[in-house]
Structure 1
Amino acid sequence: MSPRKAAALRDGGRSLREHLIATAERLMAERGAAGLTVRAIAREAGVADGVLYNHFADKEELLACALRARVRAVESGLGDLPEPGAGTVEAGLRAFVAYGMALHAGILPVFAGLAGQPAVLARFAGGPVPGLDWRDRLLAYLKAERDLGRLAPDARVEAAARMIVGVCHEPVMSALASVPPPDPPAPAPAPAPGAAGPDDAGLDDLVAAVLHGLGRR
């Protein structure tokens, strides 16, 4: 191992590949992803430019790995999701929606910065995609609440989950399509089950639409 590579790894037991991913992820968080170069990543990581190509096929692979790490970092600060049967269904659903909105608001700047690099986004989508756990847990939560009798036995929970996921995806998709999105809420931990969340009329309206529908009663 060269002295420069050794210096880059003095801070812990990470492999050099892990160190490079962590460095690129930090630069994405601090400076954004637009214009992020191999040279900038290498200098920040304390290695020669060519070292990156010993661990990644190309720049796009490294940035896709860093993007996954960024999404996981945002997820890690959002707190726990509610369990079925805890508190009210309305409070639980509100917590899931708040979590999803905060997650997508947190990752929006990075995705927007990569809008001009479709190869990176394709690499990201081609591997394990963080954020799916929230989507899968949302659907599982709605199914469990239906099984517990706290939702109607014929509740169309799959459609409800798709609607919620779509609302949370909207800011990211609008940014990638260069369409000005609605102002997203600032990233914040999801409220605990049964606790009041932020005063957000849009979030409350979405929860009410999911729980009570749109038809006349």
Structure 2
Amino acid sequence: MPRRTPEQTERLRADLIGHARVLMRRDGASALTMQRLASEAGCAVGLIYKVFADREELMIEIAVSELGDLGHRMAAWAAESGTRTISENLDAYASILLDAETPALVHAESLPGERLTTRFAESAEASTFFDALGSAVTDYLGGEQRAGRVRREVDPAAFGFMIAGAIHNLLASGPGHPRPTRAQLSRYLSAVATTIESPPA
């Protein structure tokens, strides 16, 4: 049998990651075994081990994939300035991070820290996420300011830093820490929007 090309291997990896994410969202992280994944993907277990050394590597790659998805969603959100209300848009930003189904990221603390950190550092997908986390809200508010919907004296970078930091803190702290309900958070973000919005013409 001819050897797979690098492109074919990458497609296989992506396909298996996709099946693994479906399995984890449906049945939970504990359900992800190589045998269950093989059944989900309709392939032999041995094929999975040809592209992933072990379950930990597979979980790390799923986490990387989830980060990439979140990064692309944040970047797309930032480009939507001028649509809906600012309050609605800030709430939508919070939903991207807080309501996304990211089972591998939820369980990332159970993965080998050094191995995870090294993979994140070299991953374009993770880079997309961290870049968007640092700039998406600032870019969005800058767009709204150019459109005349945010007051000229507002500093988009300062508000972007505070909003993104607050949401990321909720994401990183997890459900066991004191946190507002989603309704309370929406009210807080609406208050921020009212503070920075240009007055009605």
Call closer, same or farther: CA 1:159–1:202 in 2, change over 3 Å: same
- Confirm or deny: 8 A CA contact 1:74 1:103 kept in the other structure: yes
Residue aligning to 1:209:
192
CA shift digits 1:109-139 (9 cap, x unpaired): 5422332114474366331126557644432
Q: Select which of 31, 40, 63 maps to 1:44.
A: 40
Counterparts of 1:1-217 in structure 2, within 5 Å, are 15-34=11-30, 36-70=32-66, 81=77, 83-86=80-83, 91-107=85-101, 109-119=103-113, 121-122=116-117, 125-126=120-121, 127=123, 128-129=125-126, 131=129, 135=133, 136-175=135-174, 179-180=176-177, 182=179, 185=182, 200-209=183-192, 211-212=194-195
**More helix by proportion, 1 or 2?**
2
Call closer, same or farther: CA 1:24–1:181 in 2, change over 3 Å: farther
Q: How far apart are residue 158 of structure 1 and its match?
A: 1.3
- Confirm or deny: 8 A CA contact 1:29 1:110 kept in the other structure: no
| Mapped partners of 1:211, 1:50: distance in 2 | 57
- Confirm or deny: 8 A CA contact 1:98 1:203 kept in the other structure: no
Q: Quick one: percent identity of the two aligned structures?
A: 27
SS at match of 1:150: coil
Q: TM-score, normalised by structure 1?
A: 0.62
Alignment coverage as a number of residue pairs = 181
Instruction: Give the root-mean-square deviation of aligned CA atoms.
Output: 3.7
| Mapped partners of 2:66, 2:80: distance in 1 | 26
CA shift digits 1:147-203 (9 cap, x unpaired): 34433333221121122222322333123xx84453764xxxxxxxxxxxxxx3431
Q: Give the 4+ runs in structure 1 shifted more than 6 A.
A: 72-78
| Mapped partners of 1:205, 1:183: distance in 2 | 9
- Confirm or deny: 8 A CA contact 2:82 2:147 kept in the other structure: yes
